[in-house]
C-alpha cells in the first residue's frame, strides 16, 4: 500500500460521431463511435487504508453509496484482485449526470486507475478495462486513456488521432437516461457499418440526435442556437451539445454570445487522457527522488 494522497482528474469525453449499426439478441446496441477527451472534468482525491472500507464523499444527491459508480468500481477492483485494503475517496463534482460527456464512467475509470496504483496491484490496463466494462460500456475508453474509434457495444477500441480541436460545450438543464434513448422505437438502428478510413472522411453525425431533440425541447433549442456559428451536434445520448472550432479564441467568442442563464464551457480535445498525463507526471516525479 502506498501512503500518499493521490489527486487526479476525471475528464469529460465527447462522442465526435455516433452511429447505431444493429442490435444484439441480448438487447445491447452495436455502434460505431469516436471518443476524444477534454481538458475539463471532475477532480478526485484518493488515499488507501487498512480497514478494507471504501468511503466516497460527498454523497451524490439522490444516489445511494452502493449505487455510485465510484464505490462500485472500488469494490469491483477489491474483488478482482482479492485485495483487503480500503480507500477514502473525495470528489469535486462538476460534470453533470445524464449529460453524455461521461461523468460517471470517467469517475469509475479514475477510481480503477488510482486504486490500482495506491494498492500497488500492478494490474495491466487491459485487466482494469475488463473490470470497467462490467460497470458501463464507456468505462474502458477512460481506462485505456487514448482517443479511440469504438465498435461493438463500445468496448472494441482502436487508437486513433483525430484533430485536437477546441470545443464549446453547452449543458442544457436536463438529465437524459441512456436507456430511454436506446429503447425508443424510432431510434435509427440500421446505419451501415463503415471502416475508419471512410468514416473520417465523412461529415460526423449522431444517430441519437433526432430522438433527443424530439423528446427534449431544451436540447433542440440549444443545438439550433449553436448551429448558427459552427458545426455542432449532440454527444452520446445527450444532453450536452457541442460546437467545434480551430482556436480557443473562436470558441470563447461564441461563449460570450450565449444567452443569459445558459451553462457552458470551453475545452480542448486531447488524444491522450488528462488522467494518464497526470499519473505519468506523478510517477516520473516520484522516481526523481
Give the predicted TM-score (pTM) of the model.
0.95
Q: Which three cell numbers stand for residue 55?
A: 468511503
**Closest to 172 measured CA to CA, from 220, 258, 240:** 240
Rg (CA), the chain: 19
Find all residues with CB under 8 Å of 223, minimum gap 6, and list them: 209, 213, 232, 233, 234, 241
13 is catalytic: yes
Q: Which three cell numbers stand for residue 10?
A: 476525471
Catalytic residue among 42, 122, 127, 138: 138
pLDDT at 279: 94
Kindly report the number of other CB atoms within 10 A of residue 133's CB atom.
Answer: 17
Q: Which three cell numbers stand for residue 137?
A: 460500456
41 with 11: CB under 8 angstroms?
A: yes
- Cα distances from 95 to residues 59, 75, 106, 170, 217, in angstroms, run 15, 23, 10, 12, 21
Catalytic residue among 13, 72, 207, 268: 13
201 is catalytic: no
Domain boundaries 1-289, CATH class: alpha beta
> Does residue 288 surpass a pLDDT of 80?
no
Give pLDDT tens digits for 29-82: 999 999 999 999 999 999 999 999 999 999 988 888 899 999 999 999 999 999
pLDDT at 257: 97
Q: Which three cell numbers stand for residue 40?
A: 475539463
Give pLDDT tens digits for 93-152: 999 888 999 999 999 999 999 999 999 999 999 999 999 999 999 999 999 999 999 999
Give pLDDT tens digits for 150-201: 999 888 999 999 999 999 999 999 999 999 999 999 999 999 999 999 999 9
Amino acid at each position: 500500500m502506498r501512503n500518499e494522497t493521490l489527486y487526479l482528474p476525471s475528464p469529460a469525453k465527447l462522442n465526435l460521431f455516433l452511429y447505431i449499426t444493429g442490435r444484439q439478441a441480448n438487447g445491447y446496441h452495436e455502434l460505431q463511435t469516436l471518443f476524444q477527451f477534454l481538458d475539463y472534468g471532475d477532480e478526485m482525491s484518493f488515499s488507501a487504508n487498512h480497514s478494507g472500507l471504501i468511503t466516497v464523499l460527498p454523497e451524490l444527491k439522490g444516489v445511494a453509496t452502493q449505487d455510485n459508480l465510484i464505490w462500485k468500481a472500488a469494490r469491483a477492483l477489491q474483488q478482482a484482485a482479492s485485495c483487503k485494503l480500503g480507500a477514502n475517496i473525495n470528489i469535486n463534482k462538476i460534470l453533470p449526470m445524464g449529460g453524455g460527456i461521461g461523468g460517471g464512467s470517467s469517475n469509475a475509470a479514475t477510481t480503477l486507475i488510482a486504486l490500482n496504483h495506491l494498492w500497488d496491484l500492478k494490474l495491466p490496463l487491459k485487466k482494469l478495462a475488463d473490470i470497467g466494462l462490467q460497470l458501463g460500456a464507456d468505462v474502458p475508453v477512460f481506462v485505456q486513456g487514448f482517443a479511440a474509434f469504438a465498435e461493438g457495444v463500445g468496448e472494441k477500441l482502436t487508437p486513433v488521432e483525430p484533430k485536437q480541436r477546441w470545443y464549446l460545450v453547452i449543458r442544457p438543464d436536463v438529465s437524459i437516461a441512456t436507456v430511454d434513448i436506446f429503447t425508443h422505437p424510432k431510434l435509427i438502428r440500421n446505419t451501415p457499418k463503415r471502416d475508419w478510413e471512410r468514416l473520417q472522411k465523412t461529415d460526423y453525425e449522431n444517430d441519437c440526435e433526432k430522438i433527443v431533440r424530439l423528446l427534449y425541447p431544451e436540447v433542440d433549442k440549444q443545438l439550433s442556437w449553436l448551429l448558427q456559428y459552427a458545426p455542432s451536434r449532440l454527444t452520446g445520448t445527450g444532453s450536452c451539445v457541442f460546437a467545434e472550432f480551430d482556436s480557443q479564441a473562436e470558441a470563447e467568442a461564441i461563449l460570450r454570445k450565449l444567452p443569459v442563464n445558459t451553462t457552458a464551457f470551453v475545452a480542448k480535445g486531447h488524444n491522450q487522457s488528462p488522467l494518464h498525463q497526470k499519473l505519468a507526471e506523478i510517477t516520473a516525479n516520484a522516481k526523481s527522488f
